[in-house]
Amino acid sequence: MPRSDSPIIVALDMPRTEALALAGSLRGRVRWVKVGMTLFYAEGPRIVAELQDLGLDVFLDLKLHDIPHQVAGAAAEIARLGVGMFTVHASGGRAMIAAAVESSRRVAEEAGLAAPAVLAVTVLTSTDDEGMSEIGINATAADQVSRLATLARDAGVDGLVCSPAEAARVRALLGDDGLIVTPGVRPVGSAPGDQARFMTPRAALDAGASHLVIGRPITASVDPVAALEGILAEIERV
C-alpha cells in the first residue's frame, strides 16, 4: 500500500526521543502520526515541527472543550502549526464547534497554510453504555454518537471521531466525503486494552472509517515496522 494511501495513523503516546525514533523508522510506510495530550503537553509545538520535518503529517489530538472564545483561540494557534487534523469535543456544543472551524480556517488562510481538518470527538472508545449512564446520559453510546455526529456535522466539521462500531451510521450521516477517524482498532489477535468498543482494521474500514488510529499494537511491539507491515497486509486482504 503506497504511503499516501495508508489509512493508518500511528499514535505516538511516548516520550519525545522515542517518538521521533519510531516516527523515523516508520517514515515512508505511513503518512500520519498522532500527537496526543501527553506528548504535546510535555514538548509543546516543537514536537509537531520535528515530526513535520520528517515528512509526516500530524494529527493533533487535544480534544478541545471549553467556552467558544477559548476554543477559537486554541484552534487559531493549532492552525498556525500547520497540522493536518485536530480534534474538538462534540459535547462542547454547536457554538464551540463552529468557533473552532471558523477560527482555524481564517487563520490558516491568513498564514497561507492549508486549513486543518476539524474533527469532532463523539463518545470515547473507553466508554460503554454503563459509562454513559454513570455520567447521567440516558442513551446508549451508539445513540449518543449519532446525536453528537449530527450536531457536529451541522456545525461545519470536516469529520468525526468515533469507535468502529458506529462508523457505518456516522458514514450514513456524513456521506462519502467526510473523514471518519476511528480509534479502538485492534489487529487480529491483539488484546483490547482499555477499549470498550473496538474492531479489527479491515472491519473498521469496511464499516466506513477513512482513517484508523493505532497505537500500542505497533508502538509496544518488539518490531514496530514488522507490526505495521502486518497490519497493512491484514488491511489488504479481502
Which amino acid, one-letter code, is at 69? H
Q: Which residues pair with 15 in a beta bridge?
A: none
**What Rg, from alpha-carbon coordinates, does the chain have?**
17
- Picking from 94, 93, 88, the residue whose alpha carbon sits closest to that of residue 75 is 88
Q: Nine-digit cell at 1? A: 500500500
Q: Nine-digit cell at 213? A: 488510529
Q: Measured on CA atoms in the order 68, 74, 75, 77, is the torsion positive or negative?
A: positive
DSSP letter at 193?
T
Cα 178 to chain centroid distance, Å, stands at 13
Catalytic site residue from 33, 34, 59, 63 = 63
**Phi then psi for 7, rounded to 5 degrees?**
-85, 0
The verdict on whether 34 is a catalytic residue reads no
Element housing 35 (H / E):
strand 32-36
**Phi then psi for 157, rounded to 5 degrees?**
-65, 160
What amino acid positions are annotated as catalytic residues?
A: 63
